[in-house]
Amino acid sequence: MAQTQSVKFKCFDLELEGLLDEQDGEKAVVVTHPHPLYGGDMHNIVVDSLARAYVQSGYTCLRFNFRGVGKSKGLHDDGNGERDDILAAVAYLMDLGKKDIHLAGYSFGAWVAARTQWKIEPPPLLMVAPPVDMLSFDDVESLPSLEMVIVGERDEFAPPYLIHDKVRKWNRSAKIIEIKGEDHFFFNMAPQLESTVMRHLRQREL
C-alpha cells in the first residue's frame, strides 16, 4: 500500500500543496475538495474516502488544496482559477509518468472539474454530489468523460431529481448511484461511498 506524503506543485506562479499516495503503474487520480468558503479542503471526509477507494484499487492518488486553501498560495477565485489548479495537478501526475489519469470531484470540486477545459482528452470523471441546486452548471453542455455520479438520497444541494435531469444532458451513459438515507455530507455513509467507488473501479477493468 502506498504511503501518503506531502507534496508541492506549481500552477503558473502559485505553489499548491497536496497529499500524494504514489504507486507503481500508470493509473492515477486527482481528487478535488468541497467549497473552501464553507471549510472544504483536502482533509474532508469524502475526499479521504475517495482517496482510499482509488489507492486500494491500485491508483496513485493526488488530493490537493485549491488556491488560497491551507498552505496553497493565492486567493479563492470562485471556481475560475481553480480550473487551472486541476490542470496543474494532472500535469504533475503526468510528470511522474502517469498516463491513465482520472478525476474525482466532490461538491464544489465536482463543479470545478465539470467546468475545466481540456486541451487533451478529458480524463474519466467521477462526481460526488455535484451541487446543481447551489452553483450554476449552465455552461456545462456535455461531459463525454463522465462515468458515474454518486448522490445522497436526501441531498438538498444535489437533489437526485435534478441530478437525473442534468446527467441526461451531460452523458446518458453515465451511471447514477443514490445512497439511501444520506445527505450532502456523507457523515454516516462514508464507508458505503468508498465501497461504491471501488466496485465501479473493479467493473471498469472488466
Whether 64 contacts 85, CB under 8 Å = yes
Domain covering 4-204: architecture = 3-Layer(aba) Sandwich (3.40)
pLDDT, position 87: 98
How many other CB atoms are found less than 10 A from the CB of residue 66?
29
Whether 31 contacts 104, CB under 8 Å = yes
pTM above 0.95, yes or no: yes
- List average pLDDT for each run of 10 residues in the chain, which is 206 residues long: 92 99 98 98 98 98 99 98 99 98 99 96 98 97 98 98 98 98 94 97 92
pLDDT, position 2: 75
Would you give the distance in Å from CA 7 to the centre of its chain? 18
Beta pairing class for 125-128 and 175-179 = unpaired
C-alpha to C-alpha distance for 180 and 165, rounded to whole angstroms: 19
Specify the 3-state DSSP secondary structure of 148: strand
pLDDT, position 12: 98
pLDDT, position 167: 98
Whether 94 contacts 101, CB under 8 Å = yes
Phi and psi at residue 204, to the nearest 5°? -75, -15
pLDDT, position 199: 98
Beta pairing class for 100-106 and 27-32 = parallel
pLDDT, position 1: 64
Per-position b or e across 105-144, b if 16+ CB within 10 A of its CB: bbbbbbbbbbbbeeeeeebbbbbbbbbbeebebeebeebe
Residue 56 corresponds to which cell in the numbers above?
A: 486500494
Beta pairing class for 125-128 and 100-106 = parallel
Give me the torsion for CA of 169, 173, 177, 178, rounded to 10°: 30
Residue with cell 466496485: 199
